[in-house]
Amino acid sequence: MARRVTLKSAKDIGDDDRVGKRVSFDRETWDAVDLLARDQMKDIQEITSEAFRDLLKKYGRAADLREALKLSARAAKPRGPRRR
């Protein structure tokens, strides 16, 4: 069975909800992300959570149940009057 992934803000995540994965970036990318985090006064966790939520949205994937329900409702909505 596939496991559902839910991305929450860093403030909403408890120790039991965290999943860790180590990733590496080239120095230029890391410096740009670090600078963005400092400019936004956020930590790296908040910046990466936001980035992954945006990535899922870009590809039409839901990050949580609420978003999945919204996408499902949009897909089921009729697209105008039917012609006979």
Which residues form the domain of 61? 24-76
pLDDT band at 4 (very low <50, low <70, confident <90, very high): low
Asked, for residue 41, whether it belongs to a domain, the answer is yes
Give Cα 78 to chain centroid, integer Å: 28
Which range has the worst mean pLDDT, 2-6, 18-22, 31-35, 66-70? 2-6
Global pTM reads 0.59
Mean pLDDT of 54-70: 84
Q: Which residues contact 50 (CB under 8 A, 6 or more apart)?
A: none
Give Cα 41 to chain centroid, integer Å: 19
What is the reported pLDDT for 43? Answer: 93
Asked if 49 and 10 touch (Cβ cutoff 8 Å), the reply is: yes
For the stretch 7-59, pLDDT in tens is 555 556 566 777 888 889 899 999 999 999 999 999 999 999 899 889 988 98
Q: Report helix, strand or coil for 28.
A: helix
Number of domains in the chain: 1
d(CA 84, CA 75) in angstroms, rounded, equals: 22
Asked, for residue 18, whether it belongs to a domain, the answer is no
